[in-house]
Amino acid sequence: MVDVVLFELEGVVFDTREAREASMRDARAALGVADDSEIDDVLADLLALRAARAFSTHIATRGLNLQSGARALIDDATATARVGVVTRAGRTEAEAMIRLAGLENAFTVTVCADDALAGKPSAAGYNLALDRLGRQRPVTQGAVLALEDCAPGIHAARAAGARCIVVGSVPAHVAIEADAYVDSLEGHTIASLDRLSRPGVEVPRRYPRRRRAQ
């Protein structure tokens, strides 16, 4: 039985890709950066800061779309498990996304990029979330599911001892590193994801189709 479900907000709960790309374009334009060869450590920090501000403005003015099936899965998870967030987003961004989607009461713990000493693929964020949950009541080994959208997230979750399901359009070599793959959360429940990712159970894993060469 699944006791804990931990979500990455970006790419799993919310569709942030276009907003992130647009925010970085705005930051590069504001700082006059056209060529990556111009970027040193100082400029990289300035770009990241400006892009984060632009992203926060985007959330506040235009909002973000929830990924298909995300809200239904979160509702299903909260009925039987403790539900939390371990995200690469900053605290301000994460809280804005959660608030605008009306999900404030869904998550027992929220760990953001600001909270961990090292970002994914380090397990620091997941370990922190599990430590906080463990203070409420023990976390059963093997009863933690993590939902991620990229290789660093998969590595972080598995290093912390969680079963990881990767969600969305990812290359096959990335998907195979997770315990299971789904192209969308639509139609899934915690029970179905538990079955897909359970060790020692032969179930067909779904991998993204490779695009044919043009």
pLDDT tens column, 12-56: 999 998 888 888 888 888 887 777 767 777 877 888 888 888 888
Q: Is the pLDDT of residue 206 over 60?
A: no
Residue type, 83: V
CA angle 41, 153, 22 (to 5 degrees): 55
Q: Given this model, what pLDDT does residue 34 score?
A: 76
Q: Given this model, what pLDDT does residue 22 score?
A: 86
Q: Given this model, what pLDDT does residue 200 score?
A: 62
Per-state percent for the chain, helix, strand, coil, to nearest 5 = 45, 15, 40
204 pLDDT tier (thresholds 50, 70, 90): very low
When pLDDT is averaged across residues 190-209 and rounded to a whole number, the result is 69
Closest CA to 174 of 197, 203, 149: 149
Q: Give one word for 183, left, alpha or beta, with left for phi > 0 and alpha for psi -120 to 50.
A: alpha
Q: Given this model, what pLDDT does residue 210 score?
A: 42
- The C-alpha atoms of residue 80 and residue 207 are separated, in whole angstroms, by 28
Alpha carbon 152 to its chain centroid, in Å, reads: 10
Domains of the chain: 4-14+65-197 (3.40.50.1000), 17-62 (no CATH)
What are the two backbone dihedrals, phi and then psi, of residue 187, each rounded to the nearest 5 degrees?
A: 85, -5
Alpha carbon 71 to its chain centroid, in Å, reads: 14
Rounded to a whole number of angstroms, the CA Rg of the chain reads: 18
pLDDT tens column, 171-186: 999 999 999 999 999 9
Q: Given this model, what pLDDT does residue 83 score?
A: 98
Mean of the per-residue pLDDT values of the chain: 89
pLDDT tens column, 75-105: 999 999 999 999 999 999 999 999 999 999 9
What are the two backbone dihedrals, phi and then psi, of residue 52, each rounded to the nearest 5 degrees?
A: -65, -40
**68, 185 Cβ separation under 8 angstroms:** yes
Q: Among all chains, which residue has been given the structure tokens 């979330």?
A: 129
Which of 49-53, 66-70, 179-183, 206-210 has the weakest average pLDDT? 206-210
pLDDT tens column, 130-140: 999 999 999 99
When pLDDT is averaged across residues 7-11 and rounded to a whole number, the result is 97
